[in-house]
Amino acid sequence: MNISDNSSPIAIHCESVSKNYKKIEALKNINFDVKRGEIFGIIGPDGAGKTTLFRILTTLILPDNGTATIDGFDVVASYKEIRKRVGYMPGRFSLYQDLTVEENLEFFATVFNTTIEENYELIKDIYIQIEPFKNRRAGKLSGGMKQKLALSCALIHKPSVLFLDEPTTGVDPVSRKEFWGMLQKLREQGITILVSTPYMDEASLCDRIALIQNGQFLRIDTPENIVGQFADILWAAKSDNMHKLLEDLRNDEQVKSSFAFGDSIHVTVENGQLTVDSLKKYLIERGHKNIEIQPIEPTIEDCFMELSNTQI
């Protein structure tokens, strides 16, 4: 059986899903669909509810309310069917530390009633990078290699939907770029991917994203549309004294928010409130030199900050 040949156009369907842990509302009324072949990103900080959502969708915990289906199968009623067809890479490294690289891979292949050889093509690009260490115990691998082995193990049964819970957390920018390159290749092979990340700059690598905070989706759309819907005017400001610049901007009542963004400060202003020239004049009066203020395109991080400011 090749379970990737699935005709249903919706790979993940999630409707009004909620989950509480005692008094804490971990997920509040989550609704979304992931289309077949999409890379869908769940983007938000620690504690936002990302892992809870992944555990519900991979049938590891039950939702308190709502329903969800994977490839049309209900996560509660048909959990056995779902477990056969999904691959899951949890946030914490959960392979057998005392087994070697190759033994781990063989173990997962056997559990899913297949062999490494049968699906080798799928994992080849990733696995050849760790194959020189195939006799090393998994516990002795570096972070980057563990990540590649975990991905290989999650893929070895050729899943229809791949769940990756924070695969790049704590990983350096170069390895993160490499990892996303691997995901693009997997998508080309028809695998649907739900991936979570706290790194906002990874949003642009997804087809669609959901921004999540405090158990709620702030917005679901393509990264381009989310950026396009940024409601305010955004400027990047610089001067010779960046620390004082931040203070002075915060003291200007017409400025909605100002936060450091790399080598400049991003300033949001409500439409029609303030002009670049009048802000410049205000800053000159406060002794700033070499002032630069430029209108800029928002990043996903700007959008997240704006949405979380207004909604929570």
Partner 1 sequence: MDTVIKVENLTKRFGDFTAVDNISFEVKRGEIFGFLGANGAGKTTAMRMLCGLSIPTEGKGTVAGYDIFRQPELVKKSIGYMSQKFSMYEDLKVWENLELFGGIYGMHDKEIKRKTDELMGRLNFEEERDQLVKSLPLGFKQKLAFSVSIFHHPQVVFLDEPTGGVDPITRRRFWEMIYDATASGITVFVTTHYMDEAEYCDRVSIMVDGRIEALDSPMNLKRTYNAKNMDEVFQQLARKSTRKAD
Q: Provide the minimum distance between the beta carbon of 233 and partner 1 in the complex, in angstroms, as a whole number.
A: 19
For partner 1, give the closer residue by CB, 38 or 165. Answer: 165
Say if strands 216-221 and 65-70 run parallel, antiparallel, or are unpaired. Answer: unpaired
- Whats the size of the chain, residue-wise? 312
Instruction: Please tell me the count of residues contacting partner 1 according to CB under 8 A.
Output: 34
In one-letter notation, the amino acid at residue 290 is N
CA angle 89, 91, 94 (to 5 degrees): 65
User: Which residue from 76, 145, 276, 296 is in contact with partner 1, where contact means CB under 8 A?
Assistant: 145
If binding is defined by CB under 8 A, does position 228 make contact with partner 1? Answer: no
If binding is defined by CB under 8 A, does position 296 make contact with partner 1? Answer: no
- Backbone torsion region of residue 20, taken as left when φ is above 0, otherwise alpha when ψ lies between -120 and 50, otherwise beta: beta
Coil/strand/helix, residue 14: strand
What residues between 165 and 184 interact with partner 1 by CB under 8 A? 169-175, 177
Assign 3-class secondary structure to 211-267.
Answer: EEECCEEEEEECHHHHHHCCCCEEEEEECCCHHHHHHHHHHCCCCCEEEEECCEEEE
If binding is defined by CB under 8 A, does position 262 make contact with partner 1? Answer: yes
If binding is defined by CB under 8 A, does position 305 make contact with partner 1? Answer: yes
If binding is defined by CB under 8 A, does position 198 make contact with partner 1? Answer: yes
If binding is defined by CB under 8 A, does position 142 make contact with partner 1? Answer: yes
What residues between 122 and 141 interact with partner 1 by CB under 8 A? 132
Give me the residue label for tokens 């929570």: 312
Stretch that binds partner 1, among 5-13, 25-33, 56-64, 255-263 (CB under 8 A): 255-263
Q: Provide the minimum distance between the beta carbon of 286 and partner 1 in the complex, in angstroms, as a whole number.
A: 18
Stretch that binds partner 1, among 31-39, 40-48, 117-125, 153-161 (CB under 8 A): 40-48
Q: Provide the minimum distance between the beta carbon of 172 and partner 1 in the complex, in angstroms, as a whole number.
A: 4
For partner 1, give the closer residue by CB, 44 or 159. Answer: 44
In one-letter notation, the amino acid at residue 276 is V
User: Which residue from 76, 144, 236, 241 is in contact with partner 1, where contact means CB under 8 A?
Assistant: 144
d(C-alpha 114, C-alpha 130), whole Å: 21
If binding is defined by CB under 8 A, does position 47 make contact with partner 1? Answer: yes
d(C-alpha 96, C-alpha 36), whole Å: 31
CA angle 280, 283, 285 (to 5 degrees): 110
Q: Provide the minimum distance between the beta carbon of 187 and partner 1 in the complex, in angstroms, as a whole number.
A: 23
292-295 sheet: strands from edge to edge: 257-261, 264-269, 233-238, 292-295
Bridge partners for 10 per DSSP = 35
Q: Provide the minimum distance between the beta carbon of 71 and partner 1 in the complex, in angstroms, as a whole number.
A: 31
Site residues for partner 1 per CB under 8 A: 44-48, 132, 142-145, 169-175, 177, 198-200, 213, 243, 246, 259-263, 301, 304-305, 308-309
